[in-house]
DNA sequence: CAGCATCGAACGAACGCTCGCTTGACTTTT
DNA sequence: AAAAGTCAAGCGAGCGTTCGTTCGATGCTG
């Protein structure tokens, strides 16, 4: 199973390994005993549900579609999860775990230089979201629509990665190699740049941009914005008045019209 | 209706005005004749469907929920659209139109200076997406899941705004005030920064960041990245090898297992 | 021949959508 | 001016369909 494992991180982000972890985490609800059978079928289920959901949305994906795509009967599916929501949760958990695990495995020498550390975080995140692209898209698109446990976990995960960026920025500011007005805000701005890679990957593909190139360009862009300028700090004075017309105090806040029956 | 209309653009982005435009565009399918009645009810329908959909997704929003929230009976709803999909389309069209219309109304003096033009585009986009926040979130989250016409329109709209950014960047490069390696790519990177404002607006709200502040900060960040540096062009050589472990040539690309019946 | 794994018909609930009916403001008739 | 007629507008029970889920029968394997 392991063979060409690069860092000593001990984590593997291939489909099969990820499904193995799902199996272990949900041993109690998964009714199939033999691990190799269970994991093999989980692979087919997860692969199918990611494909179908990323095309039409999780809610629009029916278990009959999933059954056909995975090659497992309706009843068979219920040996692997006790309801549609659980299936969603299985995937979301795995994504959140993978992100934190991958980004925390920063090599010690890299951590020394804030600029290099930042570039490493960006490159690692892009590489991870490239390997697990369908998972990331799924988590990003479906996280909002579901039960509090999943929502909380997703938000927490996002904040955790944001904090990692903030810490690096702060270290850079202290070391004098970054010039940042608001560390937290700038850290927040980096996240959407990383998300764009997997959310709109098709667009980049079409333009011949691959993961490594994307990461390098984003690093360049971000580092350019952070690098202290010699003098002439021309902060944008304030945005040019770009107020949109919004016809007086319209938009009645309480348009409750009485119905016949309540 | 009009009164405090700032630019001479002639566009109004209040809920009622937007529904008025929807009414005009769909006169043929909307069965209600009297404009003031139709627009008033469209307001209640659109407001309700945006609220419900942004909470649980459009697909998960049932017409019964919508009927209750809007205060219009099931049958009544069908006087305003001939199917759930049409309702989705009505909103998507309106968002795409508003974006292009707003961004094309750039004042002539602003266009002269690329930096100012860029800041104006950012500020205008943020201001528009602030005014129409639920619409933007709806369009962003639901665009993928629907019929080719809607998808095509959404992609085209995104490319159009992207091209506007690219043109400004190009003008700035020619004028010597921007230093950009790849104009198209950099233009692409700006979009997600704008989207983050409405997609994660709750997060920014919680931190006391309002629309104007957000736009100003993003402008600063982007302009800092574009401003030519005196010397020392330290392009990131290549990303530090951030390869994730992906257990040998796993991930069987064709895990088709035969079923009993095809 | 156990017993684990899988199957797929069947079920109740909930969906999008329809349609015959009621309502009420306005027009016409007497 | 009162009565009768008209029709746009709105209503909600009910239709057929499809959903998530269940469960007894049926392999398959050691």
Question: Nearest Cα to B185, choosing from A118, A129, A209, A123?
Answer: A209
B261 within domain boundaries: no
**pLDDT one-digit tens code per residue, A79-118:** 999 999 999 999 999 999 999 999 999 999 999 999 999 9
B246 within domain boundaries: no
**Containing structural domain, residue B138:** 92-229
**pLDDT one-digit tens code per residue, B23-42:** 999 999 999 999 999 999 99
Distance B68 CA to D3 C1' (A): 38
Confidence at residue A145, expressed as pLDDT on a 0 to 100 scale: 75
Contacts of A240 in chain B (CB under 8 A): 110, 116, 119-120, 123
A53 touches strand D (CB under 7 A): no
Residue range B122-138: average pLDDT? 97
In this structure, are A148 and A179 located in the same domain? yes
* Residue B208 clears pLDDT 60, i.e. is over it: yes
Contact, B170 vs B98, CB < 8 A? Answer: no
B66 within domain boundaries: yes
Rounded Cα distance, B221 and A192, in Å: 14
Confidence at residue A59, expressed as pLDDT on a 0 to 100 scale: 93
Rounded Cα distance, A236 and A85, in Å: 47
A242 within domain boundaries: no
In this structure, are B107 and B167 located in the same domain? yes
Angle at which helices A133-142 and A84-104 cross, to 10°: 120
Angle at which helices A133-142 and A183-199 cross, to 10°: 120
Confidence at residue B151, expressed as pLDDT on a 0 to 100 scale: 83
In this structure, are B17 and B145 located in the same domain? no
Contacts of A195 in chain B (CB under 8 A): 192
**Of B109-113, B116-120, B155-159, minimum mean pLDDT range:** B155-159
Looking at B35, B64, B82, which one is the last position of a domain? Answer: B82
In this structure, are A110 and A55 located in the same domain? no
Contact, A135 vs A94, CB < 8 A? Answer: yes
A198 within domain boundaries: yes
CB contact under 8 A, B238 and A217: no
Q: Which of residues 66-105 of A touch B (CB under 8 A)?
A: 71, 102
Strand D bases near protein CB (under 7 Å) are: 8-14, 18-24
Report the gap between the CA of B24 and the closest CA in chain A (Å). Answer: 18
Report the gap between the CA of A2 and the closest CA in chain B (Å). Answer: 6
In this structure, are A31 and A152 located in the same domain? no
* Residue B153 clears pLDDT 60, i.e. is over it: yes
DSSP for A104-144, written as a single string: H---HHHHHSHHHHHHHHHHHHHHHHHHTHHHHHHHHHHGG
Confidence at residue B104, expressed as pLDDT on a 0 to 100 scale: 94
Name the residue facing B225 among A1, A224, A243 (closest C-beta). Answer: A224
* Residue B247 clears pLDDT 60, i.e. is over it: no
Report the gap between the CA of A29 and the closest CA in chain B (Å). Answer: 24
Confidence at residue A245, expressed as pLDDT on a 0 to 100 scale: 62
In this structure, are A112 and A56 located in the same domain? no
Residue range B180-209: average pLDDT? 95
Question: What residues contact B145, with CB distance under 8 A and at least 6 apart?
Answer: A56, A57, A60, B58, B59
Contact, A144 vs B57, CB < 8 A? Answer: yes
Confidence at residue A241, expressed as pLDDT on a 0 to 100 scale: 53
In this structure, are B17 and B142 located in the same domain? no
pLDDT band at B152 (very low <50, low <70, confident <90, very high): confident
More confident residue, A235 or B148: B148
In this structure, are A67 and A103 located in the same domain? no
| Residue B96: CA count within 13 A, CB half-sphere | 19
In this structure, are A108 and A203 located in the same domain? yes
B258 within domain boundaries: no
Looking at B33, B55, B82, which one is the last position of a domain? Answer: B82
Confidence at residue A10, expressed as pLDDT on a 0 to 100 scale: 55
Instruction: Give the residue from chain A lying closest to B98, CA to CA.
Output: A244
Looking at A82, A116, A131, which one is the last position of a domain? Answer: A82
* Residue B260 clears pLDDT 70, i.e. is over it: no
Residue range B223-234: average pLDDT? 74
Contacts of B258 in chain A (CB under 8 A): 71
Question: Domain holding B142: CATH number?
Answer: 1.10.357.10
A83 touches strand D (CB under 7 A): yes
Instruction: Give the residue from chain B lying closest to A119, CA to CA.
Output: B239
In this structure, are B131 and B202 located in the same domain? yes
Residue range B227-233: average pLDDT? 66
Confidence at residue A260, expressed as pLDDT on a 0 to 100 scale: 37
Question: What residues contact B134, with CB distance under 8 A and at least 6 apart?
Answer: B50, B51, B54
In this structure, are B71 and B102 located in the same domain? no
In this structure, are A54 and A98 located in the same domain? no
Strand C bases near protein CB (under 7 Å) are: 4-10, 14-20
Mean pLDDT of chain B: 86
Confidence at residue A4, expressed as pLDDT on a 0 to 100 scale: 40
Q: Tens of pLDDT along chain A (262 residues)?
A: 444 434 445 579 999 999 999 999 999 999 999 999 999 999 999 999 999 999 989 999 999 999 999 999 999 999 999 999 999 999 999 999 999 999 999 999 999 999 999 999 999 999 999 999 999 999 998 887 777 777 888 889 999 999 999 999 999 999 999 999 999 999 999 999 999 999 999 999 999 999 999 999 999 999 999 999 765 444 444 445 555 666 544 334 333 343 433 3
Q: Does B118 touch chain A (CB under 8 A)?
A: no
| Rounded alpha-carbon distances, angstroms, from residue B18 to B12, B90, B98 | 7, 10, 9
A113 within domain boundaries: yes
| Number of independent structural domains in chain B | 2
B113 within domain boundaries: yes
Contacts of B15 in chain A (CB under 8 A): 250-251
């Amino acid at each position: 199973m392991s063979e060409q494992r690069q860092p000593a991180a001990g984590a593997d982000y291939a489909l099969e390994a990820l499904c193995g972890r799902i199996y272990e985490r949900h041993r109690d609800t998964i009714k199939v005993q033999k691990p190799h059978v269970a994991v093999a079928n989980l692979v087919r289920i997860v692969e199918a549900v990611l494909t179908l959901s990323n095309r039409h949305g999780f809610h629009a994906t029916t278990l009959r579609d999933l059954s056909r795509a995975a090659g497992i009967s309706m009843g068979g599916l219920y040996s692997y999860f006790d309801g549609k929501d659980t299936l969603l949760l299985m995937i979301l958990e795995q994504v959140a775990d993978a992100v934190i695990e991958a980004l925390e495995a920063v090599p010690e020498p890299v951590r020394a230089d804030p600029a290099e550390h930042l570039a490493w975080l960006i490159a690692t995140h892009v590489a991870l979201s490239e390997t697990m692209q369908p998972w990331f898209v799924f988590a990003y698109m479906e996280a909002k629509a579901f039960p509090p446990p999943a929502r909380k976990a997703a938000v927490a995960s996002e904040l955790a990665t944001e904090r990692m960026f903030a810490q690096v920025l702060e270290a850079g500011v202290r070391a004098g190699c970054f010039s940042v007005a608001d560390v937290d805000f700038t850290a927040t701005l980096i996240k959407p740049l990383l998300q764009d890679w997997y959310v709109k990957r098709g667009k980049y593909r079409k333009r011949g941009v691959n993961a490594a190139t994307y990461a390098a360009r984003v690093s360049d862009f971000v580092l350019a914005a952070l690098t202290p300028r010699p003098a002439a700090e021309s902060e944008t004075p304030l945005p040019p008045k770009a107020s949109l017309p919004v016809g007086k105090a319209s938009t009645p806040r309480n348009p409750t019209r009485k119905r016949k029956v309540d």
